[in-house]
Chains A and B, each alone.
Chain A
Amino acid sequence: MLEVRGIATFYGAIQALHGVDLDVAKGEIVTLIGANGAGKSTLLMTVCGSPRARSGSIRLEGEDITQLPTHEIVRRGVAQVPEGRRIFPRMTVFENLQMGATLGDPAHFPQDIERVFAMFPRLAERREQRGGTLSGGEQQMLAIGRALMSRPRLLLLDEPSLGLAPLIVRQIFEAIGRIAREEGVTIFLVEQNAFHALRLADRGYVLVNGRVRLAGTGRELLANQEVRAAYLEGGHG
C-alpha cells in the first residue's frame, strides 16, 4: 500500500532522513520506533508531503505522491493524526468530527459519526463540549475519530500515547487495534512507547539517526537484544 524508497529529507541544511526504505502492506499495522530526534515524526510528515522529500520516492498503491501537497495526499485516502493531537480547541467535539468529514461523502456522515461514537463512547457523551476542554485522552480519541471520519485507507498516527496516563494509553492502543482489524484500515504508527507499539504491530522498524537500523515482525523486535536495551529497559514500556 505504502512504498517508501530512499527518502532523504532536510530541514534547511540539516539532513533528518538518510535514505529510508519502508513498506506498509494493505491491512497491516506497521510501527516505527526510535529515540527522540531519530526522525520518526519527520518520516511520517514527509509521507504527508510537509516537508517534502528532497530525493527518493513515496508511492501510495503504486501512485507517486512524493511531490503532492498535503491536502492532495489526504484526498487520496491517507488520514493523519498529527503529533500533539491538534484538535480544534474552540470547536465542539461534534464540529471537530464534522471537520474530519470535510472530504467525505455527506451521505456517509451520520453512519460514520455513529461508528466513531460507538468506538469512543466518551466522545458521544461530550459531543457538545469544546475540544479544548477535553482531557488529554479524550482529545486523542477525538483526533483519531476525526481522522477516521474521512474513511481513510491508510491511517498515520504520530505518537498517540504522548503525555497520556498508562491506563489511557492501553485504551488508545486497543482502539487502534480494533480500527485495523474491524475496519480494515491500514495503520502506520510512529511511537516512542516501543513496548505497546511493538506488541500491537504486525511489523516494526527501528529508526536511528535518520536511518532504518532494524526491521522485523513486532515479536522479533520485542525479543531483539538491541531493541530491549535501547528502548524497552530503562524507563520506556
Chain B
Amino acid sequence: MAGRLPALLKDAALTALVAAALGLFIVGFKTRDIGQGLFFDYQLVDLAIAVAVIFFGRLGLQFASMGLKWPSFALGTVLGAVGVSPIQMPSTFLHWFVVIAGVLIILRTIWPWANTAIATVRHSERGKAFGRRGAKWFGAVLLVAAVAMPFAPFADQKTMDLAVLILTYVMLGWGLNIVVGLAGLLDLGYVAFYAVGAYAYALLSTQYGLGFWAVLPLAGMFAASFGLLLGFPVLRLRGDYLAIVTMGFGEIIRLVLLNWVDLSNGPAGIGGIPGPTFFGAVFAETAPTGRQTFAEMMNIPFSSNQRLIYLYYIILLLALITNFFTQRIRRLPVGRAWEALREDETACKALGINPTNTKLTAFAVGAMFAGFAGSFFAAKQRFISPESFSFIESAIILSIVVLGGMGSQIGVVLAAVLLIGLPEWFRDLGAYRMIVFGLAMVLIMAFRPRGLIAHREPSVRLHPVRAGP
C-alpha cells in the first residue's frame, strides 16, 4: 500500500483540481443585485470545504475499491464526524454534504461484504420464507401506520400536507403501474389524464355546482375516454416511439388548457373550487347558507386540521382502491393478458388475445385512476392552472414507478416516499435539494438497477410454498 500511496494521492489531487475548476464558477462566487449593479458574493470557504471533501472522498473510494477496508472506513468515519461536529461552516448544507460524503464512503466500504451477506440470507430457504412473510407483514404494518398517522403526535399541518402529497403520488404511481408496470407500455404523458380529471372537477363544480363525490366517477370516466383517445393512434408503437408520442399527448393537453381560454380560463387557472364534503357538511369555519360545517355536525370545536385529515383519508382510500383493484385484476384474464402483452405480443396473438383491446383497456384503466387523483388534486388545491400539469410531473410519476421496480406495488410506495418526501424534507437545503434528489436517483439506479423491489411475485400460487425443494 505504501508504494501506491503517491499515485493515489496524485489521483485524488487531480480529482480535487477538476472539482475546484468546475466549482469555482458554480460554488465559488455568486452575483447579487443590490440595486446599484451586480456584486460578487465570494463563497471560497464553501468551495475549499467541498474540494477537500472531494479529495478525501476520492481517496476513500480508491481505498475501498482496492479492498483496503480499514483506511477507507476510517476516512468515512472522520468525514462523517466532521460533518456532524459543531465546527463553524458557512451553511448547514455543507454539514450535510460532508456527512453524506462520509456515509457514502462507509457504505461503499461495507457494500461488497453486505451484498454477499444479504445474498446468502436471501437464497437460504428460511430467508425466502421470511422474505415472503415479511413482505406481507410490511404491507399490513404500513397500512395500519397510514390509517393511524393523522392522530400521531408529530402530525402537524406540515407533515399532513406532505403525507397527502405523497399519497397522491402513490396513487398516481399505482395507476401508472398498470400501464407501464403491467402492460409494459411506456407512457410519458400520464399527467395529461391527471389534468383531465382535475379540470373535469374544477369545471363541473364551479360551473354546474356539482359536488366532489358526484364528479369523482365522472372525472374517472372522462380521463378513461381520453386514455382510449390516446390509445388508438399509439397502438402500433412500442418503446421509445410510444414514449415520445405519449409525451407529445401530455404537452398537447397542457397547451390546449393554456390556450383555450373560454373553457379553462387559460394560464390564469380556475379558482374557488369547492373542497370535498362529508355527507353534505363542509370543512370551513362558517358554512354557506343551507349547509352545516363538519364541526357543527360532529359537535366538536372547529380546527383547520380537520379538513386536512379528511383529505388525507380520502386520498388514502382512493389509493387503496387503486391498489386493491390492481391486485385483483392481475388475477383476472384481462390483467394476465396485460402482463403477457408486456412479455411477448406475438405470443399473445397466437393465444387468441386481441392486443388492440388489451392495450386500450390498460390505457383507459390507468387513465381512470389518474382522473380520480386529478379531481382530488383540484379539490385539495382549490385552484388549478396548467402549470401544475407540466411534463416534469409525468417524469416524476414515471420515476416513482421505475425506481420502485416496475410492477411492484410496495416499491411504488417506497419510491414515492423517497422521491416526494426527500425533496420536501430537505427543503431547508434550498437549491441544493435537487442535488440530493439526483443523488438518490443515481444511487438507486447504480445499486438497484431494476428498481427498489425488482422481484415479481407470481400472481397465482397453487398451494402454500413448501419449506424444502
Contacts and interface: CB of A to CB of B under 8 A. Distances in A.
Interface of A: 48, 50, 69-71, 74-75, 79-82, 86-92, 94-95, 98-100, 102-103, 127-128, 146-147, 150
A86 B350 contact: yes
A71 B353 contact: yes
A95 B459 contact: yes
Contacts of B350: 48, 70, 74, 79-82, 86, 147
A98 B460 contact: yes
Interface residues of B, number: 24
B351 A99 contact: yes
Q: Which 4 A-B pairs have the closest CB atoms?
A: A74-B352, A86-B347, A88-B343, A80-B350
Contacts of A48: 349-350
Contacts of A92: 458, 460
A98 B336 contact: yes
Nearest to B333: A102
A56 B157 CA distance: 73
A99 B461 contact: no
B346 A95 contact: no
A128 B343 contact: no
B187 interface: no
Given A99-B336, A102-B337, 6 more contacts: A82-B350, A87-B347, A90-B456, A95-B339, A99-B340, A99-B353
A116 to B, nearest CB: 14
A102 B462 contact: no
B360 to A, nearest CB: 14
B460 to A, nearest CB: 6
A88 B352 contact: no
Contact of A74 (B340, B344, B351, B461): B351
Most A CB contacts (10 A, CB to CB) among B333, B351, B459 go to B351
B80 to A, nearest CB: 40
A128 B461 contact: yes
A91 B351 contact: no
Contact of A70 (B333, B339, B349, B460): B349
B303 interface: no
A1 to B, nearest CB: 18
Contacts of B460: 92, 94-95, 98
A146 B353 CA distance: 13
A150 B347 CA distance: 14
B354 interface: yes
A88 B349 contact: no
